[in-house]
Amino acid sequence: MSASPDILKKIRTLKEKIADADYRYYTLADPDIDDFTYDKYLNELSELEKKYPELITPDSPTQRVSGKPTVNFRTVEHNIPMLSLSNSYNFEELIEFDNRVSGLLEKRNYEYICELKFDGIAISLIYSNGMLVTGATRGDGFKGDDVTQNLKTIRSIPLSVNSGKIKNFEVRGEVFICKDDFIKINEEQELKGEKIFANARNTAAGTLKLKNTDLVASRPLNFFSYYFYSSEVDLKSHEEGLAILKDLKFPVNGRTEKAKNIEEVKKFCDKIELLRDDLEYEIDGVVVKVNLLSQQEILGSVSRSPRWAVAYKFKAKEAVTKVNKIFCQVGRIGTITPVADLQPVFLAGSTISRATLHNFDEIKRKDIREGDYVKIEKGGDVIPKVLEVITEKRKKDSKPYKVPDNCPVCRTRLEKPEDEVYYYCPNYNCPAQVLGRIEHFVHRNAMDIEGLGTSIIEIFNQKGFLNNYSDIYDLYKHKKEITDTERFGEKSTDNILKAVELSKEKPFDKVLFALGIRHIGERTSKILAKNFGSIDNLIAAGEEEITKIHEIGPKIAESVVKFFKDKKNLKNIERLRKAGLKFETEKKSGNEKINENINNKIFVLTGTLEKYKREEAQRIIEDRGGRVSSSVSKKTDYVLAGSEAGSKLEKAKAFGVKILEENDFEKLIKQ
């Protein structure tokens, strides 16, 4: 059945609306439609394409995520080599660069463009007839990996552009992960009992090489463009190229500046280094480029670096300390993670006494030993990381670290799956795993049971009150014993039992997340809860049915099915159900109205709120059509500030963002 002109027009209109919504949301951070309307457009387009499959094009928004895993990545040859930049580490070297430029240009007038040096992955995007056809990594500068399908999942990268006369062109830029997003990824990894990533750059690089685009799409990858080339345009300057990128709706970083001389370059570098910690993304310096392309051509390149550009690298945040001991932690699913106990050292605003060593392969690769002096840094300014061993300070009787044979907690012999780098304790009843599952269950992002911290869980476990998380809802039976325990009294016991009762009001997606199913984070829990509606429907579903859901891949589906096949897990679920926990999604009455004061508005929460928990305030905002961001920008509409509000409040004042106290917030949500 051929499509009528009306159908063709409808599909074209839907594509344009979705592309414009993506641009406004992901590039401008200024959405003009809500999630419901966006999903409506996408579903409508998907249904039409199912009916008329011959009309599916590579630039359709429905093609951003492909369910077919990539077997391998083919090699792509770059039309123009992606040269690496030479580095300068101080202003003397920057002045030397300027002197070389001045000499080669024979004292012609010239100016620079100063850009941020993002700590991400350089990529090339090739557009043919205005449509994205190839996306590749930098590789060795001459050849890179074709990661087109994975790059298509980044919604700030246009799949096609209305480029007028410009049909064929290349765009280059950087793929990166924002600081707050990286922290959230690692928090979720920890809650799922999986590996903690070392830094945002490696995580972005690893994500681009994943073979499952569903998993890639679930990661918050971002993109900034900084280079444009087309044989169809006679560009005069790098600045003109950036202007074209903006016109074509590519994201261009707003902190790019022009400098008339090297003194202005130095001022820019100083200014950015001071701002570095406040930026939403990681940078490690400034890129300085001669602006005029004709002058770039005169300057040429040497080896694999252009003479017309240089990277000014900021001072690394590093320190040297001693590894006192290497010990192993056991996660809630049995993952063994080696950790370095360090001689305390102050670095980037805090005292570091421990650093994760990730896995035993990492220890072997870097040859880290007990007693070694090591250079450490704060990966992503958050996670302490061992960079390298200072071997000249190593003692002569030092011995390589030996991988333990047994679990450090229960002494069960460790196992290592062939396709993984991690060792595992297979004992489900290992005390560390038992405590880990309970800690995950009561975590503030899960059931949020205040008062049940690690030390109290350990006490209750030793006394036999808590052997798994379903025992939490029988704690009331032990009220007298708890009250009589040292450190406890009637009031503190009542507070814990009250928090346990309050947790029964948590929605189904929170309960699902609290169960601790491997690979299931907060977002995945929401997706599963929304699509299946109840725990019974999810238990009855097979892997094939689960993988049909957008953003859910085979690994997640396999984990869900495996979890619900375990009788111990089903028994715990029945106990939780009898205790009164919610195992189905609450049905909306249909009478709820979007609050126009909040709908499509961006909120940032800071400080301690008196009347609301942070999570509760976020849910109130999201239920009314708003969005909560973790950082303040010019696009932020409101900052809800509690007591002891910090730098976010100061930043909001600087940007002129409206600041709400709790009373203002209550008035806003009631209007």
CA dist 193 and 181 (Å) reads: 18
Could you give the 3-state DSSP secondary structure of residue 141?
A: coil
Count of H helices and E strands in the chain? 24, 22
DSSP H or E segment with residue 389: strand 383-389
Domain boundary assignment for the chain: 5-63, 77-313, 318-393, 431-579, 602-670
Each residue's pLDDT tens digit, 576-593? 999 999 999 876 544 455
Task: Provide the angle, in degrees to the nearest 10, between the axes of the packed helices 554-565 and 567-579.
Answer: 80
d(CA 363, CA 365): 6
Decide if domain 431-579 falls under CATH 1.10.1740.10: no
Sheet containing 658-660, strands listed edge to edge, beginning at the edge strand earlier in sequence = 627-629, 602-606, 638-641, 658-660
pLDDT for the residue numbered 594: 62
- Superfamily of 602-670 according to CATH: BRCT domain (3.40.50.10190)
Task: Write out pLDDT tens, residues 332-362.
Answer: 889 999 999 999 887 765 678 899 898 999 9
From 117, 184, 506, 510, the catalytic residue? 117
Same fold, 77-313 and 602-670: no
Q: Helix 91-104 and helix 262-275: axis angle, to 10°?
A: 150
What SS3 state is found at 485? Answer: coil
What torsion, rounded to 10 degrees, do the Cα atoms 362, 72, 214, 208 define? 50
Span 604-619, average pLDDT: 81
d(CA 435, CA 453): 11
* 20-24, 52-56, 638-642, 653-657: range with lowest mean pLDDT: 20-24
For the domain spanning 318-393, the CATH number is: 2.40.50.140
pLDDT of residue 25: 62
- Tell me the average pLDDT across 603-612: 83
Least confident segment among 141-145, 492-496, 642-646 = 642-646
CATH topology of domain 77-313: D-amino Acid Aminotransferase; Chain A, domain 1 (3.30.470)
**CATH class of segment(s) 5-63:** mainly alpha
Task: Tell whether the model's pLDDT for residue 66 goes beyond 60.
Answer: no
List pLDDT tens digits, range 159-172.
999 877 888 999 99
Percentage of residues of the chain with pLDDT beyond 70: 92
Task: Take residue 148 and report the two structure tokens written for it.
Answer: 């087109």
d(CA 313, CA 320): 20
The bridge status of strand 131-137 relative to strand 143-145 is unpaired
pLDDT at 591 (0 to 100): 45
Q: In the annotation, is 184 catalytic?
A: no
Percentage of residues of the chain with pLDDT beyond 90 = 48
**How large is the average pLDDT for residues 1-26?**
76
Report the pLDDT value the prediction gives residue 303, as an integer from 0 to 100: 64
Tokens (6 digits) for 592 = 């709820």
Tell me the three-class secondary structure of 454-471, residue by residue: HHHHHHHHHCCCCCCHHH
pLDDT tens-digit profile of 382-400? Answer: 568 898 999 999 999 999 9
User: Band of the pLDDT at 285, cuts 50, 70, 90?
Assistant: very high
Per-residue exposure over 338-370, b if at least 16 CB sit within 10 Å of its own CB, e if not: bebebeeeebeeeebeebbbbbbebbeeeebbb
Q: Which residues, 6+ apart, have CB-to-CB distance to 81 below 8 Å?
A: 141, 142, 304
Per-chain mean pLDDT for the chain: 86
* Structure confidence by residue, pLDDT tens digits, 105-134: 987 899 999 999 998 999 999 999 999 999
Question: Residue 380 — very low, low, confident or very high, per pLDDT cuts 50/70/90?
Answer: very low
Other beta carbons within 10 angstroms of residue 395's beta carbon come to: 10
Over residues 546-553, the mean pLDDT reads 83
Average pLDDT score over residue span 284-294? 95
